[in-house]
Structure 1
Amino acid sequence: MSGVESCKTIGIWMSEKKSQKVNWKELINACTNHGYSIVKVDLERPLEDQGHIDVLLHKLTDIIAAADQGDSKASAVISRVEQYLSNHPDITVIDPLDNVRILLNRYCYYSILQNEPTFQNQGIFTPTFAEFTTNDTEMNAAIMRQRGVVFPVICKPTIAHGSKSAHEMVVIFNEKGLSVCRPPCVVQSFVNHNAVLHKVFLIGNRYHICKRPSLKNFYASEDLEPIFYSTGEVCKADSQSTLSILDPQDKADIRMTLNEEKIKSVIRVLRREIGLLLAGFDVVIDNETGDHAVIDINVYPSYDNFPNFFDHLLDCIDETVYRNRFSNGDSSHRMNGLVNVCSLQECVEFE
């Protein structure tokens, strides 16, 4: 792309765990083809001493989450990063830390989805939810009733990143089961969806959809005990969890089809309201209504199955640098077409 020739260096920071999953040879080749070199950022050293960078590509979610919860070491790291970026406003950040913070709190981003007026007429929704800040079961049940949350519910930590516990969930079938909730947490009405989850991965205006196993259908019951599970155990591509096996009475239900126009509507809202280039969200289809429920959003998810991920990533970086330098515009408000990179052999622009 013309206008980005002077942009030569991408500074990258991610956790060691995520770094080990990266195909660095493929990433370096993609960067070279786009005219970039890579520098691994060391957060333990002064950033000013690590050379000039034009783009900061990061996954600082866990450190930001820890800092926001009062971890002094994490707070010091994030303060240094924010001061460095303030001193160098010409650096393109993917993604801005304040935008990332929005997705660290489930109650926050569920509220954004719930308050989106355009969803109601399109058959798109986020299931009713409530936040618990106390262990008082009676008070929490009253909060649920006030907010229209009905059993069964999924109980999730309010903080969506920062520890393994952020992915530990509980299915709760009745009021007495609320005693297992550990605040701060969010309870969300469970939507029966025939054990099929659709994961949508975003890179700027490009998206890719994968189908994954999910929880089977559940119903309110005074007799059932809470079910504890981890999303990694149930919703991974190769998961063999018994929680994903439909009961016999559910197998005759009609099979719901994903509506790609609804997916594009969700993407446009997320880009407008949250403004992240690297994100993903989970959609389930209500097996009674066919409405599409957005049940979670993630920062910089795993892109393992995203076709030609690094090429699309570098194209997105090029486009963002170009906009920042020559348009003085906010890229989150300038998305026109959406490109589905999975269902078509060649990318096609959707208006």
Structure 2
Amino acid sequence: MRLEQDEIVAFKTVGDGGGEGDDVYRKEEKEEEEKGAVSPIAVGFPLMRKLVVVGYALTSKKIKSFLQPKLEGFARNKGILFVAIDQNRPLSDQGPFDIVLHKQTGREWRQILEEYRRTHPEVTVLDPPDAIQHLNNRQSMLQCVADMNLSNSYGKVDIPRQLVVKKDASSIPDAVTKAGLMLPLVAKPLIADGSAKSHELSLAFDQHSLRKLEPPLVLQEFVNHGGVMFKVYVVGEAIKVVRRFSLPDVCKREIANNPGVFRFPRVSSAAASADEADLDPGVAG
């Protein structure tokens, strides 16, 4: 439930289970409040009129990496309370929440969220299912960047030339030739749903090996980038840029001497931070 300041009372326990000690403290506290000597406070929370309640539905892995004690303590100091959502109970029976923060996938969960948004328009859902659906597809995700036409803004912002292959791996070599794409090519799963498979990358060095790839996928021309990628996170007006290690640069000799498809499970992650790495001046600048 949402806690209002005038509903919050600090309780003190005596002994192992409280019990009689609780009753004594409540009686003493009531007497002191009637004298105007004590103001109710929240244990662990600063004085405020209302807490912001964030209901979260995250994977166990994400809870472990995201909901660190330091973050929860910082949130409490800011008047934010994290509450776990029980996915075995109807979402509408829980809360009330000010925000629903989730990192779950699947058609059933999406339907639950859409119904919840319809019946609880006052609650902010992060992220809305329709927005996630748009970013789950690498083709539509990258098309947004291309449509922005930022080439003449503050430097050049562009995406590699790409080709979407939804089925029939045997047709990939001809499709690549027709599209005029240059080797080597990076192959990425078309669907970016956060699963382990969606993070897998393949680097193809020759036309013949393209038949070994597994559609649906996106093929992109590989662009040397110093083995480092920049991830930009934006929340409102706050912008955070982090550096991650990426695929290493490739030279023409490697392309000629290394035919085949090379697979990489997951290249970029928080554990692959490159914040302290020495970068090529052309990349760092």
- Give TM-score scaled by structure 2 length: 0.72
User: What's the offset of the Cα at 1:76?
Assistant: 2.3
Q: Which residue of the partner structure matches residue 237 of structure 2?
A: 205
Q: Which residue of the partner structure matches residue 157 of structure 2?
A: 124
User: What's the offset of the Cα at 1:200?
Assistant: 2.4
Which of these residues, 74, 77, 82, is aligned with residue 38 of structure 1?
A: 82
Do the aligned partners of residues 237 and 149 (structure 1) sit closer, same or farther apart at CA in structure 2, a change above 3 Å counting?
same
Give matches, 1:139-158, under 5 Å: 139-158=171-190
Give, in whole Å, the separation in 1 of the partners of 2:163 and 2:56: 37
Give, in whole Å, the separation in 2 of the partners of 1:226 and 1:77: 36
Given that residues 135 and 181 in structure 1 are in contact (C-alpha distance below 8 angstroms), is that contact kept between their aligned partners in structure 2? no
Residue 282 of structure 2 aligns with an amino acid whose one-letter code is M
What's the secondary structure of 1:11's corresponding residue? strand
Q: Which residue of the partner structure matches residue 66 of structure 2?
A: 22
Any idea what the Cα deviations from partners look like across 1:185-234, whole Å, max 9, x if unmatched?
Answer: 11110001222222323333222222332222224438522111122479
1:237 aligns with 2:269: no
Q: Which residue of the partner structure matches residue 22 of structure 2?
A: none
Instruction: Report which of the two structures shows the higher radius of gyration computed on alpha carbons.
Output: 2
1:224 aligns with 2:259: yes
User: What's the offset of the Cα at 1:119?
Assistant: 2.8
Given that residues 150 and 156 in structure 2 are in contact (C-alpha distance below 8 angstroms), is that contact kept between their aligned partners in structure 1? no
CA RMSD in angstroms comes to 2.8
Q: Which residue of the partner structure matches residue 281 of structure 2?
A: 255
Give, in whole Å, the separation in 1 of the partners of 2:146 and 2:180: 13
Which of these residues, 170, 177, 184, is aligned with residue 209 of structure 2?
A: 177
Given that residues 159 and 166 in structure 1 are in contact (C-alpha distance below 8 angstroms), is that contact kept between their aligned partners in structure 2? yes
Give, in whole Å, the separation in 1 of the partners of 2:88 and 2:271: 33
Q: Which structure has the higher relative contact order (CA within 8 Å, separation 6+)?
A: 1
Any idea what the Cα deviations from partners look like across 1:83-109, whole Å, max 9, x if unmatched?
Answer: 112100000122222112211111111
Do the aligned partners of residues 212 and 136 (structure 1) sit closer, same or farther apart at CA in structure 2, a change above 3 Å counting?
closer
Q: Which residue of the partner structure matches residue 222 of structure 2?
A: 190
What's the secondary structure of 1:103's corresponding residue? helix
Given that residues 172 and 211 in structure 2 are in contact (C-alpha distance below 8 angstroms), is that contact kept between their aligned partners in structure 1? no
Residue 157 of structure 2 aligns with an amino acid whose one-letter code is I
Give, in whole Å, the separation in 1 of the partners of 2:270 and 2:99: 33
Given that residues 201 and 266 in structure 2 are in contact (C-alpha distance below 8 angstroms), is that contact kept between their aligned partners in structure 1? yes
Specify every segment of 5 or more residues in structure 2 that has no aligned partner in the other structure, as ranges: 1-47
Give, in whole Å, the separation in 1 of the partners of 2:224 and 2:80: 46
Give, in whole Å, the separation in 2 of the partners of 1:147 and 1:114: 17
Q: Percent identity?
A: 26
Residue 95 of structure 1 aligns with an amino acid whose one-letter code is D
Give matches, 1:250-329, under 5 Å: 255-258=281-284
User: What's the offset of the Cα at 1:117?
Assistant: 1.6
User: What's the offset of the Cα at 1:30?
Assistant: 2.4
Do the aligned partners of residues 223 and 32 (structure 1) sit closer, same or farther apart at CA in structure 2, a change above 3 Å counting?
closer
- Give TM-score scaled by structure 1 length: 0.59
Q: Which residue of the partner structure matches residue 113 of structure 1?
A: 145
What's the secondary structure of 1:37's corresponding residue? strand
Specify every segment of 5 or more residues in structure 1 that has no aligned partner in the other structure, as ranges: 68-74, 240-252, 260-351
Residue 229 of structure 1 aligns with an amino acid whose one-letter code is F
